[in-house]
Amino acid sequence: MKKHEKVAFIQEELEKLYPKPPIPLDHTDPYTLLIAVLLSAQCTDARVNTVTPSLFELANTPEKMTKVTVESIQAIIRPCGLSPAKSKNIHRLSEILMEQHQGTVPNSFEALEALPGVGHKTASVVMAQAFNVPAFPVDTHIHRLMFRWGLTNGKSVEQTERDAKRLFPKEKWNDLHLQIIFYAREFSPARGLKWETDHLLRLCGRPSEQRKWSAAIPRKK
């Protein structure tokens, strides 16, 4: 299968499996999404979703968040990990939103990435999911699958993002990055992969990955 055929096939199969992929992080507006994505760094979406209700009950706007202490924020978000840094970043970025953006989340990559604790991936998620601006946030799942499918060299997430944007249609980016994440979680995890059910790896995987995982199948005696 040539690369352009592989890309078209992957896109078609993901569309069949996840025609309307939901946003995994619970939120009500761009601000609560921004905070949820920031909390998701080195933490599962499921755990973030158990923490944010209490946090947003305490403060669900930049103005309200500036009026609570960093210690109060940290006490709630501790289960998400990295709580000292995350709590300081949440408090400070809320202050900046009030000081520089009239209490609203800016809809530009440059302004978002200037906020404490907000890197390119976080900004990309917010731009895609809050403002519907085409973006292709690359997390560990997407990085893993793009390599397994032979669509990138796996050397960096930056290269994976460039390759994804080059290969897939721009109008599909926002859905595709979610569809790939859902597929990775369901069929192609980092460990415990089941060769029999990961049909995209079987049909589209790079040869070295196909050999590795097919060889791991227990053989009947």
Homologous superfamily (CATH) of 30-131 is: Hypothetical protein; domain 2 (1.10.340.30)
CB 64 within 8 A of CB 78: no
Q: What is the pLDDT of residues 77-92, one digit of tens each?
A: 999 999 999 999 999 9
pLDDT beyond 60 at 220: no
Which residues are catalytic, by number? 121, 139
Q: What is the pLDDT of residues 169-183, one digit of tens each?
A: 999 999 999 999 999
Q: Which helix (H) or strand (E) holds 200?
A: helix 199-204
pTM of the model: 0.90
- What's the pLDDT score for residue 217? 67
**24's tokens:** 């995994």
Average pLDDT over residues 56-63: 97
Give the residue, 118 or 212, on which the prediction is more confident.
118
CB environment 16-51: b (16+ within 10 A), e (fewer): eebeebeebbbbeebbbbbbbbbbbbebebeebbeb
Give the residue, 26 or 1, on which the prediction is more confident.
26
**pLDDT > 90 fraction of the chain, expressed in percent and rounded:** 85
Question: CATH code for 3-20+137-215?
Answer: 1.10.1670.10
pLDDT beyond 80 at 128: yes
Could you state, in order of their start, the residue ranges of all structural domains in the chain? 3-20+137-215, 30-131
